[in-house]
Amino acid sequence: MAIRTITKDPMLRLLLAAMVLAAIFPATGVWRNAAQSAANAGIFFLFLANGMRIARSEIVSGIANWRFFLPLTLWIFGAMAAVGLALSHAGNALLPPLLAIGFLYLGVLPTTVQSSTSYSSLAGGNIALSVIAAASMSILGVFISVPIFLALGGSGEGMVGNDALVKIVLILILPFAIGQLVQGKTSAFIAAQKTRIVWLDRLVIAFAVYVAFSGAVEQGIWTRIEGAGWAATMGLVALFLLMGHAGAWLASGVLGLPRSDRIAFLFAGAQKSAAIGAPLATVLFEPAAAGFIVLPLLLYHFFQLVLAAPLATRLATRSALHPDVSGYGAPTTRN
């Protein structure tokens, strides 16, 4: 299943290619500054395009459905952030500090848009709610992920300063706001360029990963993280993945949501966005730190996609056989 997921998902292929390229030809010296500038420019245009294509009506709809979106917001930016903080503290005894803080960074990130909506649809979830949830949480994450990260003690070796916060405003928030302002005049153009914009997303994210991981390679990631460290990192990521999915499903059950809404809550609440996380890390942290901090996110992103396909299939099957059953069911274990 893992090999099949890599083969089918172009984003995963690009992320792996970016990491391999950074391992062989890292961006160092003068090239590092040029690569960072190019990444920043790409991120600016990526968020400008996102501002143009995410309809304001979706944002308003998300705010209006408070019974679903308020708990989802608290889950993603509250409970998941707390889990990330706990795993970050647990990792301090096993991992380099920058890698441990990556779990806190992972915890405060919003959901991924494309895969959470796709797998929610495959599982028989509420598609409209999934789209609005993913878009709304992504927008909200741009504004509140960093303040939550800082409030939970995520500065330190992460080297978050005023310059980084100014960059976030200029490179992420400003272009998104401009995109929202001109949305009415550019909607036809954006609709016609939908395929190109999807590839812009993928390429910018992959290049941001390349720049971030180059910094980690330059700082000796292969020697600073030994075999036990890699095992501990993957173990903590797997634990985070389990807690995120099981917790989101249980929380939606406590809320008494219909099954289709529970499925939307599950995928929106448990998945994490490399589309936000990788570019944000490139802007927020120095290159020497970004590669270590973003590593848990990259591993989580990989494993969440490996888990999502069989999980969605299982949920869809149970929905078809037992429409009134609200139980979660275990994901299939075939490889």
The full DSSP string for 193-255 is: THHHHHHHHHHHHHHHHHHHHHHHHHTTHHHHS-HHHHHHHHHHHHHHHHHHHHHHHHHHHHT
Q: Report which listed range, 72-81, 214-223, 270-279, is most confident.
A: 72-81
Give CA–CA dist 196/190, Å, rounded.
9
What is the pLDDT confidence band of residue 332, given thresholds at 50, 70 and 90? very low
Alpha-carbon distance 227 to 210, whole Å?
23
- How much of the chain exceeds pLDDT 90, in percent? 20
| Residue 33 CB neighbours (<10 A) | 12
- Reading the block at residue 160, the tokens are 């978050």
The whole-number pLDDT of residue 74 equals 95
Average pLDDT over residues 178-196: 81
pLDDT confidence of residue 154: 67
According to DSSP, residue 330 is labeled: P
- Its sign, for the CA torsion 318, 329, 141, 118, is negative
d(CA 141, CA 110): 5
Provide the angle, in degrees to the nearest 10, between the axes of the packed helices 227-254 and 80-91: 160
**Residue 234, pLDDT score:** 93
The answer to whether residue 153 scores a pLDDT higher than 80 is no
Is it the case that residue 328 has pLDDT exceeding 50?
Answer: no
pLDDT higher than 60, residue 162: no
Tokens encoding 77 = 């930016």
pLDDT digits (tens, 9 = 90+) for 267-284: 999 999 887 888 888 888
State how far the Cα of 162 lies from the Cα of 166, in Å rounded to an integer: 6
pLDDT confidence tier of residue 248, bands split at 50, 70 and 90: very high
- Evaluate if residue 109 carries a pLDDT over 50: yes
Q: What's the mean per-residue pLDDT of the chain?
A: 80
Q: Is the pLDDT of residue 1 over 80?
A: no
Q: DSSP class of residue 131?
A: H
What pLDDT shows up at residue 115?
72
Q: pLDDT value at position 161?
A: 52
Q: What average pLDDT does range 238-247 have in this prediction?
A: 95
State the average pLDDT over residues 166-174.
76
Q: What is the mean pLDDT of residues 98-122?
A: 85
Written as one letter, the residue type at 96 is: P
Beta strand extents in 40-129 (DSSP E only): none
In 54-182, where does DSSP find H-type helix? 56-64, 66-74, 80-91, 97-107, 113-122, 127-151, 162-168, 174-181
pLDDT recorded at residue 100? 92
Q: Which residue has better confidence, 7 or 279?
A: 279
Catalogue all structural domains in the chain, each as residue range(s) with its CATH number: 2-22+29-318 (1.20.1530.20)
More confident residue, 134 or 322: 134
Number of H helices, E strands in the chain: 18, 0
Q: What is the mean pLDDT of residues 283-294?
A: 83
Taking 80 as the threshold, does the pLDDT of residue 10 lie above it? no
When mean pLDDT is compared across 45-49, 80-84, 147-151, 168-172, the lowest value belongs to 168-172
Q: How many CB atoms lie within 10 A of CB 334?
A: 6
Percent of the chain with pLDDT over 70: 86
Give the contacts of 103 (CB within 8 A, at least 6 positions apart).
84, 85, 87, 88, 91, 236, 240, 296
- Is residue 334 over pLDDT 60? no
pLDDT of residue 59: 64
Residue 331's region, left for phi above 0, alpha for psi from -120 to 50, else beta, is beta
Nearest in space to 84 (alpha carbons), one of 277, 225, 317: 277
Residue 183 pLDDT > 80:
yes
What average pLDDT does the segment 90-116 reach?
87
